[in-house]
Chains A and B, each alone.
Chain A
Amino acid sequence: EDQVTQSPEALRLQEGESSSLNCSYTVSGLRGLFWYRQDPGKGPEFLFTLYSAGEEKEKERLKATLTKKESFLHITAPKPEDSATYLCAVQALGGSQGNLIFGKGTKLSVKP
């Protein structure tokens, strides 16, 4: 069964304190792994797609990496505006159109 597990559930950081969020996945052939950011009262906002092990993508203070079993979202020198829930999702090769398997998310709080 395709599955996504994110850890930790919640993470509290001081401004400037770098850390990583983990996304472990089990999928019968990976079509793509996604990272989304969700602010309270809003829908998820797309950040990255990763397709194969070893791939890395960066955007401002965020860097996503991918192995065959997990993905990490590294946050370097975070700012309070990085506070949000970060969602990881996978799409299986045999999966149907738009059928993304999501994790429960990691709620990140960055204090000034």
Chain B
Amino acid sequence: ETGVTQTPRHLVMGMTNKKSLKCEQHLGHNAMYWYKQSAKKPLELMFVYNFKEQTENNSVPSRFSPECPNSSHLFLHLHTLQPEDSALYLCASSWTLGQGLLSGANVLTFGAGSRLTVL
């Protein structure tokens, strides 16, 4: 396996179900992210993990619960979702941004996404 792998690729769930999305990166990166892509909207950052520690929660509702057991794996646990949560959920990874103005910018490598439909 290479790059960033997401499973499942498609998921249909009812509003009372509990499910999880899984992401694995094979690039040796130390930062991982969850992004949400809804129709007609830009990609939105949800969560950031650096060296397994959550460093950002972008005001995401508690019905989305991330877990990062190590630098290569990232999960998104889903419970009591709403139909408006239907979207493509993208996992990404990168090197941790260095300090200072000359430290470059984050080049994110994305997975293929998990298409979630909430009925």
Given contacts A34-B105, A97-B55, A98-B33, contact A87 B43 (CB under 8 A): yes
Interface size (A, Cβ < 8 Å)? 27
Let me know if B107 and A49 touch, CB within 8 A.
yes
Let me know if A97 and B40 touch, CB within 8 A.
no
Given contacts A41-B112, A96-B55, contact A31 B43 (CB under 8 A): no
Instruction: Type the 1/0 row for A70-112, where 1 means its CB is closer than 8 Å to any CB of B.
Output: 0000000000000000010101010011111111110000000
Which chain B residues numbered 86 to 119 have a C-beta less than 8 Å away from chain A?
90, 92, 94, 96-97, 101, 104-113
Which chain A residues numbered 21 to 79 have a C-beta less than 8 Å away from chain B?
31-32, 34, 36, 41-46, 49, 51
Question: Could you tell me the distance between the alpha carbons of A100 and B111 in the complex, rounded to whole angstroms?
Answer: 16
Taking residues whose C-beta sits less than 8 angstroms from the other chain, chain B's interface range is: 20 to 34
Total residue contacts A-B, CB cutoff 8 A: 76
Question: Could you tell me the distance between the alpha carbons of A64 and B87 in the complex, rounded to whole angstroms?
Answer: 29
Partner of B50, one of A43, A87, A97: A97
Let me know if B90 and A43 touch, CB within 8 A.
yes
A13: interface (CB < 8 Å): no
Partner of B105, one of A4, A45, A49, A102: A49
User: Which chain A positions have C-beta within 8 A of B58?
Assistant: 99
* A interface residues, Cβ below 8 angstroms from B: 4, 31-32, 34, 36, 41-46, 49, 51, 87, 89, 91, 93, 96-105
